[in-house]
Chain A
Amino acid sequence: MSTYKLMKNEIRMLYNQFKQTITTPSMLLFYGVSFFGVFFVSSVITGLVSFSPILFNFGDLLEDTISAPMIYAATAVFSASSVVSGYFGLGPAAVLTIDDENLMMSAPVKPHQIFLSRYIRRIVRKISFLTLGILAILPLLVSASLLFYSTVFLVIVIIIFLETNYFLGALSSYVRLWISQRTKRRIRHLMVVVLGVLVLLPAHPYLLSRFTALYVAPSNAFALFLIESTGIFAQGESPLYGVILLVIGFTICLLLTANITGYEHYEIYSATRGREETEGRFSRIIHGEVDFSRSRLNDPMLWIMLKDFWSRLRSPMQIWKYIYAVFGTAFVIYLNTIRPAWFPSVTIPPRLAFAVVPAFILMLILFIQMASVTSMLSFVDERENVYMLKASPFRTSDIVLSKYLLSLIEVAIAVIPACGFLIYFIQVGGYLSVVTLAIPLTILFTATGTAVGAYVPVFTNDPKTLPVPLAFSFPIINLGLGALLVLLVAFYSDSVLVLVILPLYTLSLVYCFLAASVHALDTYK
C-alpha cells in the first residue's frame, strides 16, 4: 500500500466535503453570507479608514521601540513554547481519529503512512481556508497597499513556520515517550527544560552573530524572513534566504516526525480516547460528585448551567482559566486605579497618534473574539449527550439560554483582564469604550458562538467535531458584526440616539442568534 494512495483518499474526502458544501443550500447560503458579508464589511471599513499610513508608520514604530534581536527572541520563544507544550502532548497521535482507529490501525498500513496522509489533508485544508479568508478581506489588503499574492505568500510562510513548530512539539513528545520507556523517575521531566533551552539558544545574539549556520533554526529563518520582507531592521539580504532555510527546516522536521511515528502512537491515541470517554460522560457527572437531588434550585436552566460548570471544571485548563481570571482582574484593577510608575503605559509617538484608536479597536475585537471561543464549544462539548439533553424534559429555549448565560459568564471573566490591560496599556482615554464596545461585543460574540456551536449537529452527524468551515466562519461573522458596531458608535457618537441604537443593535442580534440556536436544536438530525 503506497502512501500516495492514502493521500489520494484524503484529498478525495476533502473534495467530497467541498462538493457537499456547494450542493447543500443551507451550507452554501451560510458560507456565502459569511464570505460576501465580510467582503462587504471590509469594503465599507476601507471606505472610511485608510490602513496604508498606519502600516507605513508601523515599521518606524517598531524600530523605535524594539531591537532586531528581540524579533529573533520572540520567534524562538514561540518555538520553545511549542516544544514545551508538545512535550506533554500526543505528538503524531494527535492527527489520528476514531475512524483511523477502526479502519486503518487494523489494516496493513504503516503508522507513518497514516500520519503523512492525514497531515497532507490538514495542510491542504488549512491553506484553502486561509486563502478564502484573505480573499474575503481583500478590500482591507488593498487599503493597506498590500498585494494579494505577497499576502498569500506571507501567510504560507507563517503556516510553514507554525507547522514546523508543530513538528518540533511532536519530536519533543517523542523524547518524553523515549525517556519514559527507559525510566520512571520524576527527574526525567527536566528534559522539557533542556529542550526548551535548546530551541532558545540559537536566537542568542552572541551565538547568532558568530555562527551563520544557526539561521537554519526555524525560528531564526522565520525571523530573518520577517525582517527582510518587512524592511524592519533589514540588512539588505533577500527574504528568500529565510524562506529557503525555513522550507529546509520544515522538510527535515516533517521527515523526522514521520520517521518517529510508530505503533506506540496507536496506543497513545487509544489511551487518550479511553480517558476522554470516561471523563466526559454526562451520567457520571449527574451520578458522581454533584448531587442534583439535594439542590435547592428548582430551575432546569440552573441545573444545566451547574452541570456544565462542573463538567468544565474537570479540565485542568479550566482551573488555570479561573486562576488567570482572578489574578488578572485583580492586577488590571490595580493598574487602572494605582497606575504604578514601575509599569508605565506605552508612549505612542505623536506622528502615530492617529493609529491608536484603530489599533485599540482591532485588538479589543480580537481579544473578545478569542475569549468567546468558549461559547462556541458549549454545545460541542456536550458530544453525543446533546441528544440526551434534547430528549430531556427541558424547553429548547431553556437549554439555549442556560448555555448562553454560562458562556457569557465564562467569556466575561476571560475578557475583563485582557480588556483592562489593553485600556491601561494603550491609554485611549476614559473608560467609555468599556460601555460602548467591550460589553456589547462580549454579549454579542457569546451569542454568535452559541449559535455556531448549536448548528454543528445540523451540519454534521458528529456533534462532537466542530467542522472547520463552521469554526472558520465564527471569527469572520464576529469581525463583521464588531466592525458594524464600531461604525454605529462612530456615526452616532455625538447623538443621544446612540443610547437607543447601541442596545437595540446588540440585543436584537443576540435575540436573532439565540432564536437561530433554538431553531438549530429543533432541527437536529
Chain B
Amino acid sequence: MKPSVTARTDVERMRGEELIRLARVLNIPIFKRTIKRSWLIDELMKELEKRDELSVPPVILESPAIILKKVSKRFGKKTAVRSLDLEVNPGEIVGLVGPNGAGKTTTLRMLTGIIRTTSGFIQVNGHDLKKEPILAKQRVGYIPEKPTCYPSLTAREYVMFTARIYGVPQETALIRMREFVDLFQFDEFIDSYVGTLSKGNLQRALLIGIFSREPPFVLALDEPIYGLDPRGAWNLKKLLRQLRDTGSAILISTHILEVAADLCDRFVIMNEGDIVGRGSYDQLRKQHPEAANLEEIFLNLTGGIPE
C-alpha cells in the first residue's frame, strides 16, 4: 500500500497563523516580514510531499480488531458483565445496545483499559490488553458517556497534547485538526478554555482530539451522538461511515435505537450484564419475526413490550 499523501486542499483551508506554525514545524525559513499565502502553501506542499515519500505505509488493523473472550466484571457482589464474547472487525460498526445498567459502559471501560476484567481476555489490534496495554491502546479512541477534559487547557492545546500522547507528527496533527475543526464547525471555540465549553462543544473537542490522529482507529464511543446538535450528529455519522469504509473498527454504545439502526452493521443487545441478542438487523428480524422494528426486537429481548 502507498503511503498517505497530504492533499493541497487540506493545507489551503488552514488559517494564516496555523500555516506559520506548520512552517515552523517543517523548518521552512521565513525571513520576509510579509509573505504571500500562496507562496507559503507552495513551500509547505514541497516539504510535505518530501516527507510523504519518506513516510511509512498506512497501518492496517488486525482482524478482528477487538476481541473480548469470556469477559466478566464484578463490582463486589454485583456482576456488571457476565461472560461476554464479542468481536469487531476492521470496516465494521457494531452497536452495543441495552437499557440503563445493562453493562455497556463497563464493557467499553474494560475495552479501553480503564478498569480490569475480573476474568476473561481482551485483545485490541492483536495486542493483549493485560500484557501489552501500551501497544493495545495505541489505536484506541474513547469518548466517555459523560465527557470531561482538562479545564485549564484551550481546545487547541488539548488537541495538540493528545497528538503528542499518541505520537502523531505535529504537521499531521495541525493539518488534521483544521480539517475536523471545520467539519464540526468548531472554529469559534478552538482557542477557548475547555472548562468554559458547553457539553456539546466539549464532545466536539474530544472528537477532534481523536480524529487529529491518523486512521485507522479502534473507536469505543459511549453515546457519541448525545449532546451534539443535528448538524454535528449528521457530520459525525457521516465521518464514522467513512472511517468504517477505510478500515477502522468501531464499537458504539447507545440506547438511542434510531442512532443504532441508522449507523451500525451489527448489534449486540445487552441486558443486566448478559448478551441477549446479536446479529445484523436482518438476522435479528429473522430471529424475531413478530417484531416490526428494532425497537420491538430490543423490547422483546430486554423484558418484553410494555402493555
Binding site for B on A (CB under 8 A): 1, 5-6, 9, 12-14, 16-17, 20, 98-99, 101-110, 263-264, 266-267, 270-271, 274, 460-462
Residues in B neighbouring A267, C-beta threshold 8 A: 115-116
Residues in B neighbouring A103, C-beta threshold 8 A: 149-150, 162
Are B75's CB and A106's CB within 8 A? no
Residues in A neighbouring B144, C-beta threshold 8 A: 101-102
Question: Using an 8 Å CB-CB cutoff, how does the interface string of B86-126 with A read, 1 for contact, 0 for none?
Answer: 00000000000000000000000100111110000000000
Known: A16-B152, A107-B137, A270-B115. A460 touches B195 (CB 8 A): yes
Q: Within the complex, which residue of A98, A107, A266, A274 is in contact with B165, where a contact is CB–CB below 8 Å?
A: A107
Question: Using an 8 Å CB-CB cutoff, how does the interface string of B127-138 with A read, 1 for contact, 0 for none?
Answer: 000000111011
A6 to B165, CA, bound (A): 8
B234 sits at the interface (CB 8 A): no
A197 to B146, CA, bound (A): 44
Are A461's CB and B195's CB within 8 A? yes
Q: List 24 A-B contacts (CB under 8 A).
A: A1-B164, A1-B165, A9-B161, A13-B152, A14-B152, A16-B154, A16-B193, A99-B150, A99-B151, A102-B144, A102-B149, A105-B114, A106-B137, A106-B142, A107-B137, A107-B140, A107-B162, A263-B113, A263-B133, A266-B114, A267-B115, A270-B109, A461-B195, A462-B151
Q: Closest chain A residue to B222 by CB distance? A: A102
Q: How far is the CB of B66 from chain A (nearest CB, A)?
A: 13
Are B152's CB and A20's CB within 8 A? yes
A460 to B196, CA, bound (A): 9
Are B195's CB and A106's CB within 8 A? no
Are B137's CB and A102's CB within 8 A? no
Q: Closest chain B residue to A109 by CB distance? A: B165
If A102-B142, A107-B166, A462-B195 are given as contacts, then 12 extra A-B residue pairs at C-beta distance below 8 Å, sorted by A number, are A1-B164, A12-B153, A13-B150, A17-B152, A103-B149, A106-B114, A107-B165, A108-B137, A109-B134, A266-B115, A266-B116, A274-B75
Residues in B neighbouring A106, C-beta threshold 8 A: 112-114, 137, 140, 142, 220
Which of B75, B154, B161 gathers the greatest number of chain A CB atoms within 10 Å? B161
Q: Within the complex, which residue of A9, A108, A460 is in contact with B151, where a contact is CB–CB below 8 Å?
A: A460
B147 sits at the interface (CB 8 A): yes
B148 sits at the interface (CB 8 A): yes
Question: Using an 8 Å CB-CB cutoff, how does the interface string of B154-191 with A read, 1 for contact, 0 for none?
Answer: 10010001101111000000000000000000000000
Q: How far is the CB of A140 from chain B (nearest CB, A)?
A: 32
Are A110's CB and B134's CB within 8 A? yes
Residues in B neighbouring A109, C-beta threshold 8 A: 134, 165
Binding site for A on B (CB under 8 A): 75, 109, 112-116, 133-135, 137-138, 140, 142, 144, 146-154, 157, 161-162, 164-167, 193, 195-196, 220
A110 to B138, CA, bound (A): 12
A301 to B246, CA, bound (A): 60
Q: How far is the CB of A2 from chain B (nearest CB, A)?
A: 9
Which of A102, A105, A109, A266 gathers the greatest number of chain B CB atoms within 10 Å? A102
Residues in A neighbouring B152, C-beta threshold 8 A: 13-14, 16-17, 20
Q: How far is the CB of A337 from chain B (nearest CB, A)?
A: 50
Residues in B neighbouring A110, C-beta threshold 8 A: 134
Are A264's CB and B113's CB within 8 A? no
Residues in A neighbouring B153, C-beta threshold 8 A: 9, 12-13, 16
A105 to B148, CA, bound (A): 13
A106 to B148, CA, bound (A): 13
Q: How far is the CB of A22 from chain B (nearest CB, A)?
A: 14
Residues in B neighbouring A102, C-beta threshold 8 A: 142, 144, 146-149
Are B165's CB and A270's CB within 8 A? no
Are A101's CB and B114's CB within 8 A? yes
Q: How far is the CB of A125 from chain B (nearest CB, A)?
A: 11
Known: A12-B157, A16-B193. A99 touches B149 (CB 8 A): yes
Are A108's CB and B135's CB within 8 A? yes
A13 to B194, CA, bound (A): 11
Q: Closest chain A residue to B145 by CB distance? A: A102
Q: Closest chain A residue to B114 by CB distance? A: A105
Are A108's CB and B134's CB within 8 A? yes
Q: How far is the CB of A294 from chain B (nearest CB, A)?
A: 30
Residues in A neighbouring B113, C-beta threshold 8 A: 105-106, 263, 266
Residues in B neighbouring A98, C-beta threshold 8 A: 148
Are A108's CB and B138's CB within 8 A? yes
A188 to B110, CA, bound (A): 29
A264 to B152, CA, bound (A): 27
Q: How far is the CB of B230 from chain A (nearest CB, A)?
A: 25
Q: Closest chain B residue to A100 by CB distance? A: B150
A267 to B75, CA, bound (A): 11
Known: A16-B152, A102-B147, A106-B142. A264 touches B116 (CB 8 A): yes
Residues in B neighbouring A14, C-beta threshold 8 A: 152
Top 7 A-B pairs, shortest CB-CB distance = A106-B112, A13-B152, A106-B142, A108-B137, A16-B152, A102-B144, A105-B114
Q: Closest chain B residue to A104 by CB distance? A: B165
Residues in B neighbouring A12, C-beta threshold 8 A: 153, 157
Known: A108-B138, A461-B195. A270 touches B164 (CB 8 A): no
Residues in A neighbouring B162, C-beta threshold 8 A: 103, 107
Are A108's CB and B114's CB within 8 A? no
Which of B116, B150, B166, B220 gathers the greatest number of chain A CB atoms within 10 Å? B150
Are B154's CB and A105's CB within 8 A? no
Q: Closest chain B residue to A6 by CB distance? A: B165
Known: A1-B167, A102-B142, A461-B195. A263 touches B150 (CB 8 A): no
Q: How far is the CB of B119 from chain A (nearest CB, A)?
A: 14
A108 to B165, CA, bound (A): 7
Q: How far is the CB of B264 from chain A (nearest CB, A)?
A: 21
Q: How far is the CB of B214 from chain A (nearest CB, A)?
A: 14
Residues in B neighbouring A462, C-beta threshold 8 A: 151, 195
